[in-house]
Amino acid sequence: MQPGPHLDNPVDTLLEKIEIDGTAELGGKLHQFAADLYPTCRSITGNGIRQTLRAIQQRIPLQIFEVPTGTAVFDWTVPKEWNISDAYIRAADGRRVVDFRSHNLHVMSYSSPIHAVLPLETIRPHLHTIPEYPDWIPYRTSYYQENWGFCLTYNQILSLEDGDYEVCIDSTLEDGHLTYGECYLPGRSSEEVLISCHTCHPSLANDNLSGVSVAAFLAEHLAGQDLRYSYRFLFIPGTIGAITWLAQNREKAAQIRHGLVLTCIGDSGGFHYKKSRRGNAEIDRAVACVLKDCGERFEILDFSPYGYDERQYCSPGFNLAVGCLMRSVWGTFPEYHTSADNLEFIQPLSLAKSLRACAAIVNLLEKNRRYLNQNPCCEPQLGKRNLYKSTGGEPVGQQIHARLWTLNMSDGEHSLLDIAERSGLPFETIAGAAEALCQSGLLLPLP
């Protein structure tokens, strides 16, 4: 048997490394990375996202791109760049009753500048609260319609007395750039796996520092490895970022074979995977196969054209095999888009297990191929090759069953993922069987 070219090593290394680190230690690192990025006031353009990308660049080889305001990207136009240095509402007594410096959610993202003294009644339509959660600050944006606004707790608004207030938003909304980061890890094939996460939200932890942190650590682990696929990690502003990237990288997009959008992946909920538009792409089956054996609750959701950047990747002109991996689904938990989506809302252990699931998915994609049984007529005599008894700690039955399944189904038409699905056995067990059978010369990988 000719061995497959560096078949399993790189990603096994990753999974093993995760095991060696221990999920607790790894989780701590993932959470710390999110914590470091948490205070930054990000938006879809501006210095907040630039600063965030530079922090990610400390861990991984990230190329940062700047796309000028006004650039046409399909049906859209790259907007003006927004920056902010201060914002407040000051009472007559000089006290800042709402203060951007205490929480960057206090300003509606993309607020145009204002500095005026106004009576409360005039200000009120610009104030946003969540009466149901009177201590939480909502997150609001107005990207494509010039406006200004403040977000505050419901209790704050209750304490405001009538009268005049000094309203100040020291922001700029000017021609500039849209900034995004790209980490490309070349593999043996030019076919790509895309990992995309939106990096445009201010101090919100699950949405989406969780995705940013998991993606950055995954890239860090894969960097420098001998990989089958090439990997492209995108750290981009939501919607306009994905549209901009797709508009300017149509040839690269055509190389994408599998992809994941990572979002809301650090909370304590079970996994949710939203399938690609294709619905039965290899990535869809790979994620389902990994989650089935991950030891956590999970649910597979059908594609819908509403959500995060899978909307763009799965638009009919691209129809890429890109799904969205989450824990709790955006919009379904009350903390979503509020100040309660904070560093306590995301859990180190959840982050580590999310990274582990991503690594297992990558592992599956790297290893999934078709083999050809070299002894297709009747079973080969496994006993004389010492393959009819278990070799490791696994229960005898499962390991031998995996070998029999892999031999039986390796007719050149079925991949290891097909075999894992039909047998109900974990992919790793099937992949291990394939490796053992290759070593015995009973199986050969197909090109």
Nearer CB in complex with its own copies: 131/305:
305
Counting contacts by CB under 8 A, is residue 305 touching its own copies?
yes
Counting contacts by CB under 8 A, is residue 421 touching its own copies?
no
H/E stretch holding 257 reads strand 256-262
| Stretch in the footprint of its own copies (CB under 8 A) among 23-31, 209-217, 227-235, 397-405 | 397-405
One-letter amino acid at 114 equals: I
The token pair that represents 256 in the structure block: 């994408």
| Stretch in the footprint of its own copies (CB under 8 A) among 28-36, 63-71, 181-189, 313-321 | 313-321
* Cβ atoms of residues 444 and 1 within 8 Å: yes
Rounded to whole angstroms, what are the CA distances from 311 to 244, 270, 274, 315, 342?
Answer: 13, 23, 11, 6, 26
Counting contacts by CB under 8 A, is residue 405 touching its own copies?
yes
Alpha helices, DSSP H, located in 142-281: 154-158, 211-222, 240-248, 250-253
Q: Which of 45, 111, 156, 312 binds its own copies (CB under 8 A)?
A: 312
39-98: contacts with its own copies (CB under 8 A): 73-76
The crossing angle, in degrees rounded to 10, of helices 427-439 and 416-423 is 120
Counting contacts by CB under 8 A, is residue 430 touching its own copies?
no
Counting contacts by CB under 8 A, is residue 390 touching its own copies?
no
Strand spans (E) along 375-428: 411-415
Q: Is the peptide bond before 280 cis (omega within 30 degrees of 0)?
A: no
Counting contacts by CB under 8 A, is residue 401 touching its own copies?
yes
Counting contacts by CB under 8 A, is residue 445 touching its own copies?
no
How far is the C-alpha of 17 from the C-alpha of 12, rounded, in Å? 8
Counting contacts by CB under 8 A, is residue 346 touching its own copies?
no
Nearer CB in complex with its own copies: 361/430:
430
Counting contacts by CB under 8 A, is residue 392 touching its own copies?
no
Nearest to 151 by CA among 161, 133, 138: 138
Q: Which of 58, 63, 85, 319 binds its own copies (CB under 8 A)?
A: 319
Relative to beta strand 63-68, strand 177-185 is antiparallel
DSSP letter string, 21-47: H-HHHHHHHHHHHHHHHTTS---SSSH
Counting contacts by CB under 8 A, is residue 146 touching its own copies?
no
Counting contacts by CB under 8 A, is residue 277 touching its own copies?
yes
Counting contacts by CB under 8 A, is residue 308 touching its own copies?
no
> Which residues would be at the binding site for its own copies (CB under 8 A)?
73-76, 144-145, 239, 242-243, 246-247, 277, 304-306, 311-312, 314-319, 373, 375-381, 383-384, 400-401, 404-405, 407-411, 423
